[in-house]
Amino acid sequence: MAYTTINKPSDYFNTLIYTGDGTDNRSITGLGFQPDFCWFKDRTGANSHNLFDSVRGVNKPLISNSTSAELTGFNLFNSFDSDGFTISGATADNTNFNGNNFVSWSWLADGTGVSNTDGSIASTVSANTTSGFSIVTYTGTAVSGATVGHGLGVAPSVVILKNRTGYDWQSYWSALGNTRSMVLNSNSTGNTGTGFWNNTNPSSSVVTLGNDGSHSGNCVMYCFAEKKGFSKFGSYTGNGNNDGTFVYLGFKPAFVMVKNTVNNARNWTIIDNKRNTFNPETQWLYPNTNDSELDASSYPVDFVSNGFKIRTGVGSYFNTSGENYIYMAFAENPLVGTNNIPTTAR
């Protein structure tokens, strides 16, 4: 019996690494699909994270480590291509600075989007119901109880929202409940109140919003629904031991993002299977800072065939005893595909 309907996760999510060369209109290939959401980070330099999507359009970066508005007029990102993307030239420090090492995490949605009227606010939605990912743009009202259609057909487990004119990045996590919003651009433990999600879980068709100012004006949401064998979103408790916590995913991960939810001095942290191609995972990037890549050799994490295993009792970013963590994970390989052959560990 098949464990998942997605035998090849890299058809829907993939990571590319490359070295900047400063040339204009540079094509980066090898992704395996035409992406709709690309997230870039300069691993070498202290440059910001830059996020682009096909619904808002090219060359309109949002910065995950900042409250700043959507940028325009920057020569950074030219096109979403059939096997990757085209980036720009010598002035593009955040995507193609000569000699610096870069990473891009990319997701497949469904192109530039279509009109959605499921909510009280009309939206434009690019949704991939197979992989459980959608990009949503709309004009918010900051009225409690307003709803926005997300197009997934099932309730998302994670919603990451950015007001395109400013404000913090807000995020809903089903593991934390509908009174909590975690802030992607901050190491804080987030916010609690009705102003973010109106104390209402997303449904199979809409996200319900509160009256916080981040919901006013032009906004974008990235919505993620869990798909067995491809993606998982949840929480775990650190044990503080060298034989650290094991987090079961049901697949060998390609990407994991973790955040401590109770300690406001801990960054969001991303590890992936391309910057480290073998265990342990020791190259960390922080979505809430512009820091260059950290060599975290003292805080090893292993990617295994069915999840990730923390190998140290130190390092509060992953395994402080008794502290809660949320995570977002996408697969390199499902534990068992339709061929009923189990994946292997590294």
Q: 79 is written with which tokens?
A: 């096109």
Q: Residue 59 belongs to what H/E stretch?
A: strand 57-62
Report yes or no: 281 and 247 within 8 Å, Cβ to Cβ: no
The pTM score is 0.96
Report the pLDDT value the prediction gives residue 235, as an integer from 0 to 100: 98
Average pLDDT over residues 248-265: 96
Q: What is the DSSP code string of 109-174? A: --TT-EEE-SSSB-EEEEEETTTTEEEEEEEEE--TT-EEE---SS--SEEEEEETTSS-EEEEET
Q: Which H or E run contains 93?
A: helix 93-96
- The H or E element that residue 194 is part of is helix 194-197
Q: What is the pLDDT of residue 122?
A: 98
Phi, psi of 119 (to 5 degrees): -100, 175
Tens of pLDDT, residue by residue over 270-286, are: 999 999 999 999 999 99
Q: What is the mean pLDDT of residues 83-94?
A: 83
The pLDDT of residue 1: 39
Q: Which of 57-71, 81-95, 184-198, 245-259 has the lowest mean pLDDT?
A: 81-95
Residue 106 has pLDDT above 90, yes or no: yes
Task: Look at 23-32, 46-55, 92-101, 118-127 and tell me which has the smallest mean pLDDT.
Answer: 92-101
Q: What average pLDDT score do residues 96-107 get?
A: 96
Percent helix, strand and coil across the chain, each to the nearest 5: 5, 40, 55
pLDDT bin (cut points 50, 70, 90) of residue 339 is low
Three-state DSSP class for residue 304: strand
